[in-house]
With several copies, the nearest count.
Chain A
Amino acid sequence: MLDRRCEDMAQALDGVQDGACIAISGFGESGRPNMLIKALLDRGTRDITLISNNAGEGHMGLASLLLAGRVRRLICSFPRGAMQGEIERLVRAGVLELEVTPQGTLAERLRAGGAGIPAFFTPTGFGTLIAQGKETREFDGRGYVMERALTADFALVKAHRADRWGNLTYLNLARNFCPLVAAAGRRTIVEADEIVPLGAIPPEQVITPGIYTDVLMQSQPVPDAAWPTPEKAA
């Protein structure tokens, strides 16, 4: 039987080591796998290269990894938010390195990584600071920047419904980066609101085919109090 379900978090995160490159789904808090993020925080993994559109907000969820100094390098499009003073402090202290990429380019780089495309050309950022140090090229009279694909050792994804083959659906706009991150991860770990019987998701409605899911866990909410307070985190 092909069964991606897993009930043991240590087993789910098996192999996640210091220095790992980890892509995390979500836009704002929508589509964010907070249970898995909390487990990653508890695991104590350090020197993470984190791929995520945002840096998180406040001290909970995604931000907790940054505030605890676990992230060595952040690849994102928007590193600002409620705790941007802290992020700025980490960058100035040399604890955190930032690679900021336009949001559409970030999405396309992840899509390319999952799709076996090592590099592509995009008009985004041509003639701006983003193009500095990158190969540029003209096609049919217009300038483009060459961008490289992104893949990750691990992908952490939040889904709405899932079956044991790992087929996934997402609620509303919680879809955002989820299918891209799922495909770009060499090992993709999913937490789903609801695990349904095989066949319960009609084939036309599957958003992420099961082939991308390596581990599937039942999502559990993380109580606010479970996250380190800003003082503890710092």
Chain B
Amino acid sequence: MSRLGRSAIAARLARDIPEGWHVNLGIGIPELVADHIGAREVVFHSENGILGMGPAAAEGEEDWTLINAGKKPITALKGASFFNHAESFAIVRGGHLDLCVLGAYQVAANGDIANWSRDADDILPAIGGAMDLAAGAQRIWVLMSHTEKSGAPRILERCAYPLTGAGVVSRIYTDLAVIEIGPQGPLVTDMVATESPESLQEKTGAQLRFAPKVATLEDIADR
């Protein structure tokens, strides 16, 4: 087993979400996490005003007053609640979400995250809700590929891209490893079998530490 696919990373992350958590999944790849929750009751939040978001709406049954933050048609589960944008971000900023899963361009050893622009002089800076989520949720877990397509590392001592939030990330799930971000920096807890500490360090732009027992990161995707 070499690199994990996106769905496999999402499945591994989903395994760490306990029943009963209230969770926001960032737009894009993080949304895959919902497919791997299984029978656990996890309450999904979308920042445009819902707790208890269900799966995507079936084709032909879309209701355009019921969309997620990525503007795709969704459904509402039994137990869902609707609220306005200020109330929704009060939930976010007030620290009431147990977890937010975000994609990222880069994460730094101190927990900084850059996920909204590759260019500080972006002429159309598109921030959306990412900065609020980064600042507000109790835990920020990042789901991303370990390196750029070019092989350049995305886990760095300092982010080169403009920040979404400073010192907020507590865990990174990549196609190669699971990494805790603690006061002493990144700690590898899981790693694919084809990597060694040395080879993983080579693909990483920040100094890694390794847990006494690093678990093998495997594809546990249940579909």
Does chain A touch chain B in the assembled complex, meaning CB atoms less than 8 Å apart? yes
Which A residues form the contact surface with B (CB < 8 A)? 1-2, 27-31, 53, 77-80, 84, 87-88, 91-92, 98, 100-108, 110-111, 113-117, 122-130, 143, 163-165, 167, 171-180, 183, 198-199, 201, 203-204, 206-207, 209-212
Contact between chains at A1 and B19 (CB < 8 Å): yes
B6 at the interface (CB under 8 A from A): no
Contacting pair B129 A210 (CB below 8 A):
no
Task: State in angstroms the CA–CA spacing of A77 and B47 once bound together.
Answer: 13
A209 lies within 8 A of B83 (CB): yes
Question: Binary interface profile of B, 125-146, with partner A (CB < 8 Å = 1, else 0)?
Answer: 1111111100110000000000
Complex-state Cα separation, A84 to B123, whole angstroms? 11
The 25 sampled A-B contact pairs (Cβ below 8 Å) are: A1-B41, A28-B64, A30-B67, A78-B128, A101-B127, A102-B130, A103-B89, A103-B128, A104-B129, A108-B93, A115-B90, A122-B135, A127-B163, A165-B52, A172-B63, A173-B49, A173-B65, A173-B66, A173-B67, A175-B84, A178-B84, A183-B96, A201-B81, A204-B82, A206-B81
Cβ-defined contact, B131 with A167, below 8 A: no
**Interface residues, chain B, CB within 8 Å of chain A?**
19-20, 22, 41, 43, 45-52, 63-67, 71, 76, 78-86, 88-97, 112, 120, 123-132, 135-136, 162-167
Inter-chain contact B94/A115, CB cutoff 8 Å: yes
* B90 with A114: CB separation less than 8 A: yes
Contacts of B93 in A (CB 8 A): 104, 108, 115-117, 122-124
**Interfacial chain B residues near A87, Cβ < 8 Å:** 124
Contact A127 B166 (CB under 8 A): yes
In this complex, the member of A102, A125, A126, A204 whose beta carbon has the largest number of chain B beta carbons within 10 angstroms is A102
Q: Are B79 and A167 in contact (CB under 8 A)?
A: yes
- For the complex with contacts A79-B126, A127-B165, A175-B84, 10 further pairs of A-B residues with Cβ separation under 8 Å are A27-B67, A77-B128, A104-B132, A124-B93, A127-B163, A130-B127, A172-B82, A179-B86, A203-B76, A211-B22
| Cβ contacts under 8 Å, A111 to chain B | 86, 90
A206: shortest Cβ distance to chain B, in Å? Answer: 4
Q: Identify which of B43, B89, B127 contacts A165 (C-beta below 8 A).
A: B43
Asked whether A124 lies within 8 Å of B91 as measured between CB atoms, the reply is: no
Nearest-CB residue, chain A, relative to B50: A173
Tell me whether A116 and B51 are in contact in the complex, defined as CB-CB below 8 angstroms, given that A2-B43, A171-B65 are known contacts.
no
B166 touches A126 (CB 8 A): yes
Q: How far is the CA of A171 from the CA of B131 in the complex (A)?
A: 27
